[in-house]
Amino acid sequence: MTGGFYIDVNLAAGKPSEGQEIFQRAPDFTAANVMLWSDEPMIVIDARTVVLGYLFRKGPPSVRVRKGAGEDGSALAAANGRALITGYWGGYVFVHVTEDGALYVLRDPSGLLPCYLRRSGRATALACDVTDLAAPGLGRVNFEEIGRILASGDARGRNTCLAGVEELIAGECLVVDQRSSRIERWWSPWDHVAPRKMSTGDETSQLCETISDCVGSWSSCFPSILLGSSGGLDSSIVAVAATPRSERLTALTLVSPGAAGDERPYAHAVASSLGIPLRDAPLDLADIDVERAVTPHHPWPISPIFKQAVGAVHRRLQSEMPTDAHFSGNGGDGIFCSIRSAVPLLDHFLSKGQRTGLGKTVRDISSLTGADIVTVLRHAWLRHRRSGGAHLPRYNELGLEREMLARIEAQGFSHPWLSAPADALPGKTVHVAFLMRAQKSLELYPRRSAPLHIAPLLSQPIVERCLAIPTWRWIADGRDRAVARAAFSNRLPRTIIERQQKGGPAEFSLSIYRTQRDRLHELIRDGVLAAAGIIDISLLDEPEDISWRGNAREQRILAFAAAESWARHWNGG
């Protein structure tokens, strides 16, 4: 299965379109001054309107809208596509050209179909792969933006780390008309944070119904699915919701050194309870090349080096068992509001006042975090004094040049979702920040050459339902993601529902550092990021530290090396 799209708008007379060169055929859709090529599923609404990607009429039960939209056609074209926001969901890009030649391009609120753009006046190109909008070469890298990414997960905004290339953020619509090229926000998480008046039981059952509907709908689209299964809560929920409607679902758990790197017992418990096959595969240091860009098709260098080993496992399995899509529980922590601070107490107090139940929230936070009650109350008060409790960007200054970091801190947020309304509850500013972080570079591999990646928990109906659940309910009984746990308590093994800690590839990453320390240091010391004033290479000269602080330094060096190899690739080698 292949994918990808390219859209050219207001192309200069006589200039050939890059889309023609990329796809080696005539456009699949033309209207006025717009040409479009697509290997994504394409729903032709009328002569001026198409939807690229996967689209579902909102349920439950949700129904996929396929080629030839039938009764959905007039609704989809109405109001230049605004009806999509309330009545539909999926992983799509909507394209509409009005009779007077204005273009509307809407990216759906899940962000599951990437959409990047390059603008020069009214001439605009859009694609789901940045390699179709930019080529490696001197001047291509936006080094300041790399600094923002390395400084904070909250610092990412519309700009990518490639000069002149932007992201159309999920829920936004690009409008190009005779007067201007502008971006309008048609969907925002802040439109969905108001709690719905329902009992805790109804809240739980409706979340279960929504997740089952959305994940099941995605599962019905692909004959063969490979699910990354760690035995953690998020991927296990995807597994149980996908199984009833999937033709062939195979779970894969990756094994790395150390007890925390082997989660086969948990993954096996899930697979056995559902009756689905489970594969396991080791991560291999032989698959690591620290000088090779990990994901050069991403517009931000945020993929860790160990992902090279994950990609090698996927390629080997692809030769044994053809795969139409990779599924994962990615984003679950953020969507299910896995919060470990005192802000749910602030939310509860600001919403309900000193009513019965406030003491339970204090005890829940104490149980979840291990802090005593006095400490919880003190932290809530200090947080309220600092910013009214609202989320503020957190910066990691380790190894960054101070002048660059000072500029980044002075600029603050740049992502529109992080500009909270004045009456926003503190915990919801954290929840929305989690959601923003969950949408970073969802594509595992280029869509034209590998199976696409679906993170079904990011589906719009799931996100909207989770945003409306008060933060203190997410930590009920001292358990993180409590509502999601309760929703699937009767459908997953107890060992999964009660599991509080999760392993991962941290030890494998440290093995990469310890076996390739000299190459990593040389890569950074002589690199383009240090030359651009992003990295302070004195970090490399600090003595080794065997404590957890040493691990933090080693992980930071690995992140710098991944960014350096990406920057060298895009800088022309």
Supply the DSSP symbol for 15: P
pLDDT computed for residue 541 by the predictor:
94
Nearest partner of 475 among 362, 386, 398, judged by Cα: 362
CATH for the 5-187 domain, from 2.40.30.10, 3.60.20.10, 1.20.1630.10, 3.40.50.1820: 3.60.20.10
Pairwise CA distance, residues 434 & 334, whole Å: 4
* Per-domain residue ranges of the chain: 5-187, 200-335+436-497, 341-427, 506-570
pLDDT computed for residue 15 by the predictor:
81
pLDDT computed for residue 442 by the predictor:
79
Residues in the chain where the model's pLDDT stays below 50: none
Nearest partner of 145 among 299, 298, 304, judged by Cα: 299
Interhelix angle 373-387/343-352, nearest 10 degrees: 70
* CB hemisphere CA count around 444 (13 angstroms): 24
pLDDT computed for residue 14 by the predictor:
66
pLDDT computed for residue 70 by the predictor:
65
For the domain 200-335+436-497, what is the CATH superfamily, name and number?
Answer: HUPs (3.40.50.620)
Containing 532, the helix (H) or strand (E) segment is: none
- Amino acid present at 200: T
Per the CB < 8 A criterion, the answer to whether 400 and 150 are in contact is: yes
Token representation of residue 570: 């895009």
Token representation of residue 455: 């993170």
